[in-house]
Amino acid sequence: MAFPARMRGRVPWRAAPAGGTRGGQVRGIGEERLVAGGQAAAAVVVALMAFLPVPADRDSGALRLGALACAAALVAIHLAAFAHGRVRRLEPALAAQALLAYLPMLPLGAPWSTAAGFFAGGLLLAARPARAVPGAVVACVLAGLVPARSGAPGWVDTVVAGTASSGVAALALFGLGVAARMVAAREGELRELQRSAVAEEHKRFSRDVHDLLGLSLSAITLKGELVDRLMLGRPERAKEELAELLTMSRRALADVRTIAAGYRELSLDDECRAAAAVLGAAGLRVTIARSGTGDLPPAVATTFAVVLREGVTNVVRHSTASWCAFSVSTEGGTAWLEIVNDGAGSAAGGAGSGSGLRNLCDRVGSLDGKLSVEVGADGTHRLVAAVPVACPGRARDELSA
């Protein structure tokens, strides 16, 4: 039987390219802890720089104790509000930092100016740069002005020293806060990649089980039914069919191992022969037309082999076809696979036919190809896969089986 002419005007079903990414292990937990520890250490150091210069004589014991309490509170508020790259309870935290940074300056004087770095650093971490930078500059300048006395000897040096010490403290806290934020964002991205990799592997396993085992199991079922019918009348033929059934079962076992191990290249020529054998066992007339299959890239050949498996499986399982024809060819830099049968009245393959067609769309789309399905008015069902390749077009050599 001649292969039907390629029909024009087919309705394409284009699949989005598969963009699954396989992630590795999430290895940044140590980095996150290191940055968090550095952030805590920086806050403690800034607090000590503000507390240690407080006089330690007998008359200032209560003052020193109050300064220690304020320093500890500043550290706790900063870590609670800005630790691990997250901002929590922003307004109360900034208000508390401002009170603890500037009110103690009145009795403690210039040494406490460094504590204003908590407030300035919090502003830098919490607000947009257009607002945060001017606000932090004003906060640092106020840290120098509040303890200074205009006209007193050295008041300019006090302003400069207070502004500089609070500014350095603010930049240190801000830098480590940004580092913590970046590490936290990276951790979130890595975890999302890991989840995507697991989901992609689940999808691959489910798709391969459906696509690679479908034809093998259908063929085993057909052979088993044929052997059952031949056992009494034609035992020799039944024995031959049983031997083929064992071969098919071993092939199915190999497919299972392939699915468990991951991706493997499939031979398109072997799949063409296997598909013809299964269709013949199902009682269909088979026509094969192929050329240039040896020149196809391995990825294209493997994808066509899987499409052929699924297409033939659908014909065997879901159609009432009396003939099936499939063709593999290259034309104009595009590789074509066509599967046509006359059982469209009950053949599966529409949009709601399950996961088979969606799987094929994913596979073909990952190679920037198109998958199209067409049901003709004469009851024919046509499945076409087209994938771009760097191959010159060739004429078909028609083979009949």
Q: By mean pLDDT, which of 102-116, 258-272, 324-338 is the weakest?
A: 258-272
pLDDT value of position 299: 87
Q: Which range among 25-29, 299-303, 343-347 has the greatest average pLDDT?
A: 299-303
| Tokens read off for 138 | 């004003």
Determine the Cα–Cα distance for residues 249 and 255; give it in Å rounded to an integer: 10
Q: What mean pLDDT, rounded, does the chain reach? A: 77
> Highest-confidence range of 278-287, 310-319, 351-360, by mean pLDDT?
278-287
d(CA 346, CA 321): 9
Tell the residue number behind the tokens 């699924």, with chain if given: 310
Residue type for 343, please? Answer: G
Distance CA(206)–CA(217), nearest Å, equals 16
pTM above threshold 0.75: no
Q: In this structure, which amino acid lies at residue 138?
A: V
Please state the rounded mean pLDDT for residues 3-7.
39
Q: How far apart are CA 21 and CA 196, in angstroms?
A: 7
Return the half-sphere exposure (C-beta side, CA atoms, 13 A cut-off) of residue 144. 20
Averaged pLDDT, 114-120: 91
How much is the average pLDDT of 39-61?
81
Residue 66, H or E segment: helix 61-82
Q: Which of 67, 69, 70 is nearest to 52 (CA)?
A: 67
339 has a pLDDT exceeding 80: yes
Beta-bridge partner residues of 375: 381
CA-CA distance, 165 to 289, in Å (whole number)? 83
Q: Give CA–CA dist 54/303, Å, rounded.
A: 76
Contact indicator for 39, 180 with CB cutoff of 8 Å: yes
Asked if the model's pLDDT at residue 319 lies above 60, the reply is yes
Helices 90-102/116-126 angle, 10° precision: 160
Q: Which of 2-16, 49-63, 181-195 has the lowest mean pLDDT?
A: 2-16
The amino acid that residue 149 corresponds to is: R
- With bands split at pLDDT 50, 70 and 90, how would you rate the model's confidence at 158? confident
Q: DSSP string covering 150-176, please?
A: TTSTTHHHHHHHHHHHHHHHHHHHHHH
pLDDT digits (tens, 9 = 90+) for 274-305: 888 888 878 889 999 887 667 788 889 888 98
